[in-house]
Amino acid sequence: MIDRKDKLISGYKAFRAGDYKAQKKLYEELGTKGQSPKVMLIACSDSRVDPTDIFDAYPGEMFVTRNVANIVPPYDTDDGFFGTAATIEYAVKVLKVEMIVVMGHESCGGIKGCLDGMGHDPDAGYVGKWVSIINNVRERVLARSLPENEVVLEMELEGVRQSLTNLMSFPFVKEAVESGTLKLQGAYFSIIQARLMLSNEQDEFELIPA
């Protein structure tokens, strides 16, 4: 078995000799002056969909949060720990990002889990509880009686749409959007062909020419 720590060290060395060498000044500047990213990215934790790779972003360019199935929970003031909500609040109120992108993706395990009913299974642990946030999306998509091969894609896209709707339930997001300082954007990445789709004004996803 590969020694995981060795792999970390060799990766770090490659970074120092490659990207870091080319971006030494940028790191110095970011470390000294702080960050001022203009875009927040909400993506899935899936190891195959790294937003900074897909959008060719340099360090300091994107404020990223990733969770199972790229879900934005609706605004909620109950007691609890709100990791995703905290990152959104920080991005909007402190960093004053100009755009929040929610990016879904192909063959998402979290979306599949929700479709399979994990969100209704009390024994499905933290993941089950987390994906239960989009049980309403599941019910909506299943009610459409789509052909079987379209259900998963539709659920993945509809999950992004729901997260964009939920973003608007945060008072500070709504205020920034309505005052024109913040835009919300849906995105979808198909892994097999590395194709990107972006949502338009009508909330439909359009393929972006590579």
- Residue 124 near Zn ion by CB under 5 A: no
Closer residue to Zn ion, CB minimum distance, 59 or 109: 109
Distance CA 101, CA 183 (A): 9
Binding of Zn ion at residue 182 (CB under 5 A)?
Answer: no
Neighbours of 127 (CB within 10 A): 17
Task: Return the CA Rg of the chain.
Answer: 19
Told to check if 92 binds Zn ion by CB under 5 A, we report: no
Least distance from Zn ion to the Cβ atom of residue 44, Å? 3
Counting contacts by CB under 5 A, is residue 134 touching Zn ion? no
* Residue 142 CB, nearest approach to Zn ion (Å): 19
Task: Please tell me the number of Cα atoms within 13 Å of 63 on its side-chain side.
Answer: 22
Per-residue binder mask for Zn ion (CB under 5 A), 40-69, x = binder: ----x-x-----------------------
Which residues pair with residue 114 across a beta bridge? none
Q: How many contiguous H segments (helices) and E segments (strands) does the chain have?
A: 10, 6
- Enumerate binding residues for Zn ion (CB under 5 A): 44, 46, 108, 110
